[in-house]
């Protein structure tokens, strides 16, 4: 039996019996069996939110993180049984397992020498454990796809024959949603986001391996000729070679070493050659597409990455029962991420553009349907509503909102810089009205920093700037401002002269 198969079998075997034992026992059991399989995981995260991602990793996996000099990357060590949980992190875009890290790589002086070194490097690298992890990861993904198909079919069957629970029982072998083993896992992971992803990843392996023979498992783990490609991501000015040259020559050596087949588009293994100044990291990709695409099916012109939305929400530390509003929600990326991750809060998504409200509503519906298919039963819904409104005149009571998180029009693709000079002061003023004095907070993203700073300076008695995170949004240098609402009660401008009553 190959080491890889052994590792995969250990994971599956342990999962099979989790029904009968406590989660704690299982964890220590898996821990003992796969002690040898500890690897370093690299993750790309939204630039500026490296610390947020590191905090999430520490909180959910108990691992401490190294934040790379190369902005937007973090590294942490895990034992293989935590792999499913790694995929559940909300702040990471792409994941890879590290083959080797050179903190201070000595590049030779000429291009020929550097490329020759890369060629020679391929056979010296410790590929074995990272490849095992890649293979286990691949088997998770295969099972996820398989499970999805089964659930989609069974949910279709349910609608077709209208028999509900009765037909579920007949089809018991294939069902995951109601099984004791599944609910065991769900109990363990109280967090709804973890629930969702772990029930798909670990739960799928767990449920489907029950009716899987040893042979089919072996099929999946037997060595074969993989199709691969090398991707070189390079930053730094002092290199005498191009990314393409490095990928080409290193890739040629990887091909000779493993006897794999190079395929730039239809590959199984993606080897990463990440170079940042003198730091060189070789890795194997664990994600095919960025995890930030998780929530959105109906995209708009400026849809925010869900990972960035998560980072913004985390900045304001939501507490249970908080009312969280995105008054310029677009496709709803922020409140939808909020409703899935902070389901003990209530989220309101609003926009003045009916097309945007429509997209947000469709995204909410798609997510509900996805949850329903996954769980194979009626979903509990999401604590979120979508409304059409104008941010300058919100249909919300004064002091009724705990948190405002929004991505403001930059004035480039959305709105105009000229319009922002009126919009920003007006919306900051309305936000200060609806936001609870003393405890309220706001996290606002904009690239129009000049206009924002000017607008904020006019409302210094209402908002205190606590922190600024500098982020890169599609090449634009933008800022995320964390503001705290002062204790000053809101008084409508006209009221200040003894006019209208505050709303
Ligand atoms: C940068 S986009 C938000 C994108 C959003 N985060 C997403 O993921 O799709 C800004 C949004 O502000 C909305 N907006 C502009 N002026 C507004 C106003 N006066 N009231 C409400 N929304 C407004 C626009 O319609 C646009 O959808």
Confidence of residue 165 (pLDDT cuts 50, 70, 90): very low
What does the pLDDT read at residue 378?
64
Question: What pLDDT, in 10s, does the model give residues 67-120?
Answer: 987 789 999 999 998 999 999 999 999 999 999 999 999 999 999 999 999 999
Q: What's the 317 CA to ligand 1 centre distance in angstroms?
A: 23
- Among 332, 352, 406, the mutation site with the greatest number of ligand 1 atoms within 8 A of its Cβ is 352
Residue 329 contacts residue 335 (beta carbons within 8 Å): yes
Residue 86 contacts residue 202 (beta carbons within 8 Å): no
Relative orientation angle of helices 111-121 and 243-258, to the nearest 10 degrees? 30
Q: What's the 351 CA to ligand 1 centre distance in angstroms?
A: 6
Atom of ligand 1 nearest to the CA of 406: 6
Dihedral angle of Cα 379, 328, 459, 318, to the nearest 10 degrees: 20
Question: What pLDDT, in 10s, does the model give residues 220-251?
Answer: 445 578 999 999 999 988 899 999 999 999 99
DSSP state of 80: G
Residue 98 contacts residue 130 (beta carbons within 8 Å): yes
Whether pLDDT at 427 is above 80: yes
Whether pLDDT at 9 is above 90: no
Q: What's the 291 CA to ligand 1 centre distance in angstroms?
A: 23
Q: What's the 414 CA to ligand 1 centre distance in angstroms?
A: 8
What does the pLDDT read at residue 492?
80
User: What region, left, alpha or beta, does residue 179 occupy, with left being phi > 0 and alpha being psi -120 to 50 degrees?
Assistant: beta
Q: What's the 473 CA to ligand 1 centre distance in angstroms?
A: 16
Q: What's the 491 CA to ligand 1 centre distance in angstroms?
A: 26
Say which residues have a Cβ less than 8 Å from residue 20's Cβ, sequence separation at least 6: none
- 470-475: long-range contacts at Cβ-Cβ below 8 A with a sequence spacing of 24 or more? 470/47, 470/48, 471/46, 471/47, 471/48, 471/49, 471/308, 471/445, 472/46, 472/47, 472/48, 472/71, 472/72, 473/308, 473/410, 473/445, 473/447
Out of 19-28, 266-275, 353-362, 377-386, pick the least confident.
19-28
Q: Cα 185 from chain centroid?
A: 21
Q: Which two tokens stand for residue 388?
A: 């059409």
Dihedral angle of Cα 295, 300, 301, 302, to the nearest 10 degrees: -40
**CB burial class (10 A; 0-12, 13-18, 19+) of residue 98?**
buried
Q: Round the average pLDDT of the chain to a whole number and report it.
A: 81
Nearest CA to ligand 1 atom 7: 303
* Ligand 1 pocket residues where CB is under 6 Å: 300, 302-304, 327-331, 333-334, 351-353, 356, 390-392, 407, 409, 414-415
């Amino acid at each position: 039996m190959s080491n890889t198969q052994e590792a995969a079998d250990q994971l599956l075997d342990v999962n099979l019996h989790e029904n009968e034992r406590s989660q704690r026992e299982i964890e220590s059991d898996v821990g003992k069996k796969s002690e040898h399989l500890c690897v370093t995981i690299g993750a790309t995260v939204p630039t500026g939110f490296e610390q947020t991602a590191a905090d999430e990793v520490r909180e959910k996996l108990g691992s401490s993180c190294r934040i790379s000099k190369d902005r937007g990357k973090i590294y942490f060590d895990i034992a293989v049984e935590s792999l499913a949980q790694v995929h559940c992190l909300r702040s990471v875009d792409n994941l890879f397992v590290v083959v080797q890290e050179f903190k201070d790589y000595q590049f030779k002086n000429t291009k020929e020498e550097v490329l020759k070194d890369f060629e020679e490097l391929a056979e010296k690298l410790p590929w074995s454990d990272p490849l095992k992890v890649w293979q286990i990861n691949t088997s998770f993904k295969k099972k996820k796809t398989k499970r999805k198909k089964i659930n989609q079919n069974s949910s279709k069957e349910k609608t077709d024959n209208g028999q509900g629970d009765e037909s579920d029982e007949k089809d018991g072998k294939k069902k995951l949603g109601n099984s004791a083993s599944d609910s065991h896992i769900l109990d363990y992971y109280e967090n709804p986001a973890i629930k969702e992803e772990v029930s798909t990843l670990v739960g799928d392996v767990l449920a489907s391996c029950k009716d899987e023979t040893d042979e089919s498992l072996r099929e999946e783990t037997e060595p074969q000729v993989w199709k691969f490609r090398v991707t070189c991501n390079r930053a730094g000015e002092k290199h005498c070679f191009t990314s393409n040259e490095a990928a080409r020559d290193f890739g040629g050596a990887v091909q000779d070493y493993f006897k794999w087949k190079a395929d730039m588009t239809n590959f199984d293994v993606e080897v990463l050659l990440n170079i940042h100044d003198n730091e060189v990291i070789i890795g194997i990709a664990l994600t095919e597409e960025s995890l930030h695409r998780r929530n959105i099916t109906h995209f708009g012109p400026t849809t925010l990455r869900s990972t960035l939305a998560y980072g913004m929400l985390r900045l304001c530390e939501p507490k249970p029962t908080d009312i969280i509003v995105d008054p310029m929600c677009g496709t709803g990326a922020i409140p939808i991420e909020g409703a899935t991750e902070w389901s003990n809060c209530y989220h309101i998504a609003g926009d003045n553009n009916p097309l945007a409200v429509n997209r947000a509503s469709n995204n909410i519906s798609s997510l509900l349907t996805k949850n329903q298919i996954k769980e194979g039963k009626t979903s509990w819904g999401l604590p979120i509503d979508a409304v059409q409104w104008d941010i300058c005149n919100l249909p919300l009571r004064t002091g009724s909102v705990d948190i405002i998180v929004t991505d403001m029009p930059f004035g480039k693709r959305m709105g105009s810089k000229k319009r922002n000079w009126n919009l920003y002061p007006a919306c900051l003023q309305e936000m200060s009205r609806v936001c609870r004095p003393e405890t309220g907070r706001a996290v606002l993203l904009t690239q129009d920093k000049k206009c924002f700073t000017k607008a904020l300076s006019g409302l210094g008695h209402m908002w205190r700037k606590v922190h600024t995170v500098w982020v890169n949004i599609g090449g634009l240098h933008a800022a995320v401002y964390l503001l705290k609402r002062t204790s000053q009660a809101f008084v409508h401008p006209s009221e200040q002269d003894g006019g209208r009553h505050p709303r």
